[in-house]
A and B are shown apart, each in its own frame.
Chain A
């Protein structure tokens, strides 16, 4: 018995197996279905294995912050820009300018090189075709369409305290209303009257909308298209006033144990090789490298989209204030 216990203790205490010197440990916020094929492609190309854990953006930053003195991850790959702004403030990432850094437009990267956009993302309206038909409604094509009383209690979208999607929504409205913050918040208060619930994850509204529990879901493009791919009868539209183009980034973890392998992987992120994978794998995000390809399906979808550029620095400074305003003015009853 004692010997068995001792053996069990030894097995349990076995740490992560001693990895080959060049293995890369990655934290990502992208769903496995989107991130794993890309990591696998890198391993197939270079032979360098990538171990990854998927966490929500907030959990990812919290985990990396708690591990600050003894980092377990080398790279944070695939998380929204605001997560990286928080990671920079927490001192858990360090500047690294990848080989292709110069080619990335300046609004897609941190000026000091702490993080750089892997891809561009935006949001859209996803409506349940059957429910719209029942009420004789056309899918919304303007932010103001959503204020129609017919949508009362029928809109689901993300909670600004947890979800990057919600920040994209707040920014979209801000830019769509000509950067007039008062107008933007007036609008959001009116929109609130039609919202059934604010979900805690960005994709949280897609399945309820697909299942008819809500009529419209305002979600990030990849989440919405993932639901559509499953075969749900959903209509996707963009507001004609425009939507904010937000970034999904990559950064090197400060004190990364496999720094060299990690930087090579980040370099690869900004090659046409990897940028084309976004397209081939139907990730439904846009490449940040100018020469990255965009397939016909994405082009057709994006035809209606008016992308509004986002001032990363302004967002970094004002994010907390915008979220606080949302808490204290929009959802307070």
Chain B
């Protein structure tokens, strides 16, 4: 493998670039205002009490549960990263390489998207009902009574099932971009399937694998809702501890200190991922024509094994969501299982405003956040702008911090004039954009790592300015990243709660708040009905965006261009 290609321009040239320089300044300004400023305010709150103080940290280090929580978090994040990436890779291989009929791919894509759209708490509760001591699957199907799902096992299972679709989406795009002629070459040189897979397919997919591992690990490190319900007291993790410290022990300073502790592993993962992916070149999109041959790169046995793994996963996921659908259509799950449309009637009367508000906010988040994500990814991957690594890391901070802490930091920073943004929809939008754009950025850098910079150089040498090259050459190539980034943003806007519970106001409510309300009112039916609405809306949005994308630019990178296998 050759070393990484030289980026398009030198640092000095980058600074003089009439398009690039203002764009980078704008990115920095946005990140400084909406990420660094709130975090700094919170840091001040944590480590400043009429003078610098480490009191919060000293107290925390002495606590057995926080020490254990740190190790638990690291172990859980690593396991979720590995298990989720493996599962996502299996799904991606099946979808891209198994030459299955097209409808199978579509069905697969449709179902795999489900766990990503897990509205708060409902999925974890469905898991309890499916696999608990008297669970639908564990007890009523397999007759196992007294299964304990609280702890590492349940949390790992739930997080893996929730996050593996991120790995699937990332890896599917990457696998589809691998030029089949490379594998063809391997075969015609006499290599067996396993050798081709090991020496060609996997190495080419390494940026994707690393990215998905990073995304999953970071997602697990930041996830507090799953361990909150499934971790119990036996399995404390840091985000949950931070949440408990603030909301249970009324200790904002301690909670903030714990959250900053989380940034350390997040930074480590980030650096490791960088080091790993930049050592090698994985260019497969070269502008030279690659014949789209149909390669039988998987043996029938391998396909059968993949089908088995994926089918079992799909079955499990389907059970959870059918439980939610069922709960939404009966009077009171378990007590009165007769059909009732009352919960949907509630959604369409009292709940419409929340749905409308959420859609407006999501609709604004998608283009803003999607563009922010790909431009940031491009600047990081393709320019030599000084400080671009720092920018990328700064942009990741809000994602790595637990939602509770981001919500509080935003409140502290944006409650007073001149930046009194609380109470507006704007604060919800920026919270989502700067918290959930990471997926788009990561996918962009992964895709660009596969694209030969000489294509852009050709454009530049033909006299196109950088913005024209970006719009005409780069953007079409990283379209899947833009789409994936926007989809993730939309889903998060429809499902996130931890940060936004502090930012919702009377004029702007959210569906997730209604779901939480349903859970606290013990109205499982209402919570489920809202969850079903969220799932339907997300599907509608995904189908719509893939239709638009297909119309805008049919052809190039077709396979990876949509999320629904079209």
Contacts and interface: CB of A to CB of B under 8 A. Distances in A.
A59 B132 contact: no
A16 B248 contact: no
A210 B523 CA distance: 13
A90 interface: yes
A246 B448 CA distance: 61
B408 interface: yes
A227 B250 contact: no
Most buried by B among A33, A233, A323: A33
Interface stretch (A38-46, A112-120, A201-209): A201-209
Contact of A211 (B64, B232, B334): B334
Interface string A44-86: 0000000111111111011101110110100000000000001
A200 B228 contact: yes
Interface in B536-564: none
A58 B246 contact: yes
A66 B411 contact: yes
B507 A70 contact: no
Max count, chain A CB within 10 A of own CB: residue among B135, B228, B249: B249
B445 interface: no
B335 A232 contact: yes
Contacts of A154: 133
A212 B334 contact: yes
B128 interface: yes
29 contacts: A12-B425, A15-B423, A15-B424, A16-B424, A31-B517, A52-B506, A54-B517, A54-B520, A57-B247, A66-B408, A70-B420, A72-B415, A90-B250, A159-B233, A162-B248, A198-B233, A200-B228, A207-B524, A212-B334, A213-B132, A213-B135, A227-B522, A230-B335, A231-B332, A232-B332, A232-B335, A320-B249, A323-B249, A331-B233
Contact of A62 (B247, B421, B522): B247
B306 interface: no
B252 A65 contact: yes
A220 B425 CA distance: 36
A226 interface: yes
Interface in A117-176: 153-154, 159-163
Contacts of B517: 31-32, 54
A86 to B, nearest CB: 4
A25 interface: yes
Interface string B135-146: 100000000001
Contacts of A196: 133, 148, 150
Nearest to B408: A66
Q: B134, B336, B520: which has the most chain A beta carbons within 10 Å?
A: B520
Interface string B425-468: 11001000000000000000000000000000000000000000
B56 to A, nearest CB: 15
Interface of B: 64-65, 125, 128-129, 132-135, 146, 148, 150, 228-229, 232-234, 244-250, 252, 331-336, 364, 404, 408, 411-412, 415-417, 420-426, 429, 501-502, 504-507, 517, 520-524
Nearest to A195: B233
Given A53-B506, A63-B502, 4 more contacts: A62-B408, A66-B411, A70-B415, A331-B233
A66 B248 contact: no
A327 B229 CA distance: 18
B424 A14 contact: yes
A197 B232 contact: yes
A11 B521 CA distance: 32
Contacts of B521: 31-33, 226
B37 to A, nearest CB: 15
A333 B332 contact: no
B244 A55 contact: no
B502 A72 contact: no
Interface of A is mostly: mixed
Interface in A209-226: 210-214, 223, 226
A191 to B, nearest CB: 13
Interface string A281-320: 0000000000000000000000000000000000000001
Nearest to B501: A59
**Interface range on chain A (Cβ under 8 Å from partner):** 35 or more
A203 B64 CA distance: 28
Given A200-B229, A327-B65, A59 B134 contact: no
Interface string A169-201: 000000000000000000000000000111111
Contacts of A328: 64
A323 B245 CA distance: 12
Nearest to B507: A16
Contact of A69 (B133, B408, B416, B424): B416
A17 interface: yes
A8 interface: yes
Contacts of B146: 153
A20 interface: no
B410 to A, nearest CB: 9
B471 to A, nearest CB: 14
A328 B64 CA distance: 8
B151 to A, nearest CB: 9
B134 A213 contact: yes
Given A12-B364, A162-B247, A212 B134 contact: yes
A3 interface: no
Nearest to B241: A161
Contacts of B504: 53
Contacts of B228: 200
A13 interface: yes
Contacts of B336: 230-231
A207 B364 contact: no
B247 A58 contact: yes
A71 to B, nearest CB: 9
Given A62-B246, A69-B415, A55 B501 contact: yes
The 8 closest A-B pairs by CB, nearest first: A58-B247, A161-B248, A66-B411, A86-B250, A162-B248, A231-B335, A212-B134, A213-B132
Nearest to A58: B247
Contact of B129 (A61, A213, A320): A213
A296 B252 CA distance: 44
A12 B429 contact: yes
Interface string A1-34: 0000000110111111100000001000001110
B64 A67 contact: no
A233 to B, nearest CB: 7
A56 B247 contact: yes
Contact of A210 (B234, B335, B429): B335
A25 B421 CA distance: 17
A333 B423 contact: no
Contacts of A226: 521-522
A66 B412 contact: yes
A62 B252 contact: yes
Contact of B424 (A12, A54, A66): A12
A200 B247 CA distance: 11
A201 B243 CA distance: 13
A16 B506 CA distance: 7
Contacts of A231: 331-332, 335-336
Contact of A213 (B128, B502, B520): B128
Contacts of A232: 332, 334-335
Contact of A223 (B331, B335, B522): B522
A332 B148 CA distance: 18
Contacts of A160: 248
Contacts of A32: 517, 521
A30 to B, nearest CB: 9
Nearest to A87: B250
A25 B331 CA distance: 34
Contacts of A208: 128, 132
Contacts of A227: 522
B422 A72 contact: yes
Contacts of A51: 506
